[in-house]
């Protein structure tokens, strides 16, 4: 069984976004939550021992490195790599950036943020990819929580430097408190041109999840 581990959110629209991802997979899959919502990862794996767990996580933070593997070991499950650093993630963020109205004259790549070593590498990787796609404008990383600089601080820094059409490229999966915070920044901070939407229901994410699942050795999938 394919089990997709998601963070979970009580925000309206989060569940629908993840449901669109699952429908795009065109194969059976279960959703398990790491926080806020049910069923939990432990609940799902207890009923599906030996499952393959794909962490739908954009960073290599605590969930990816610590609690998902710990729960999976209890039920003899395999955990694939997360999504951090994958070119398809950057492509999905870029597509949503263009759909939001283009890059403007500066881009802030907004990730969730982590205090763990390498926890923010995924956001930095997206910033590098977008910088390569738009070499004539600044592309800077920023974080919604736990890490610095904050998104608001980064936007204000660019505005002070004279940029007036700053686009926030959302490096987040689904609607939640962080996307609400980004919308608030757009409404209250001078210079913000647009905020792109989250990426979990982008077709490239479904393809990436399936690739993660199918990369597991056949003898493990058959166990």
Task: Tell me the pLDDT tens digit for each residue of 18-43.
Answer: 999 999 998 999 999 998 788 999 99
pLDDT of residue 222: 37
C-alpha 128/C-alpha 145 separation (Å) is 21
pLDDT at 218: 52
**pTM higher than 0.75, yes or no?**
yes
Q: Are 121 and 85 in contact (CB under 8 A)?
A: yes
CA-closest candidate to residue 4, choices 61, 15, 12:
15
* Mean pLDDT lowest among 38-42, 117-121, 219-223: 219-223
Please write the tens of the pLDDT for every residue from 162-190: 999 999 999 999 999 999 999 999 999 99
Does 220 have pLDDT greater than 70?
A: no
Highest mean predicted confidence (pLDDT) among 6-10, 66-70, 205-209, 217-221: 205-209
Residue 209 clears pLDDT 80, i.e. is over it = yes
Name residue 140's beta-bridge partners.
108
**What does the pLDDT read at residue 36?**
72
Q: What is the pLDDT of residues 65-112, one digit of tens each?
A: 889 999 999 999 999 999 999 999 999 999 999 999 989 999 999 999
């Amino acid at each position: 069984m394919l089990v997709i581990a998601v963070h979970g959110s009580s925000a309206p629209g989060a569940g629908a976004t993840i449901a669109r991802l699952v429908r795009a997979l065109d194969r059976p899959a279960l959703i398990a939550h790491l926080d806020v919502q049910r069923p939990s990862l432990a609940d799902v794996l207890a009923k599906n021992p030996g499952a393959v767990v794909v962490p739908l996580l954009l960073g290599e933070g605590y969930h990816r490195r610590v609690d998902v593997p710990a729960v999976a070991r209890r039920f003899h499950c395999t955990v694939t790599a997360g999504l951090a650093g994958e070119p398809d993630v950057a492509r999905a963020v870029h597509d949503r950036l263009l759909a939001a109205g283009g890059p403007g004259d500066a881009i802030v790549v907004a990730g969730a943020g982590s205090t763990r070593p390498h926890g923010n590498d995924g956001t930095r990787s997206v910033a590098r990819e977008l910088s390569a796609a738009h070499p004539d404008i600044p592309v800077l990383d920023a974080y919604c929580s736990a890490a610095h600089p904050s998104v608001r601080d980064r936007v204000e820094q660019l505005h002070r430097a004279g940029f007036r059409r700053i686009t926030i490229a959302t490096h987040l999966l689904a609607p939640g408190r962080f996307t609400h915070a980004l919308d608030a920044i757009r409404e209250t901070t001078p210079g913000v041109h647009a905020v792109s939407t989250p990426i979990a229901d982008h077709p490239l994410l479904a393809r990436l999840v399936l690739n993660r699942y199918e990369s597991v050795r056949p003898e493990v999938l058959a166990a």
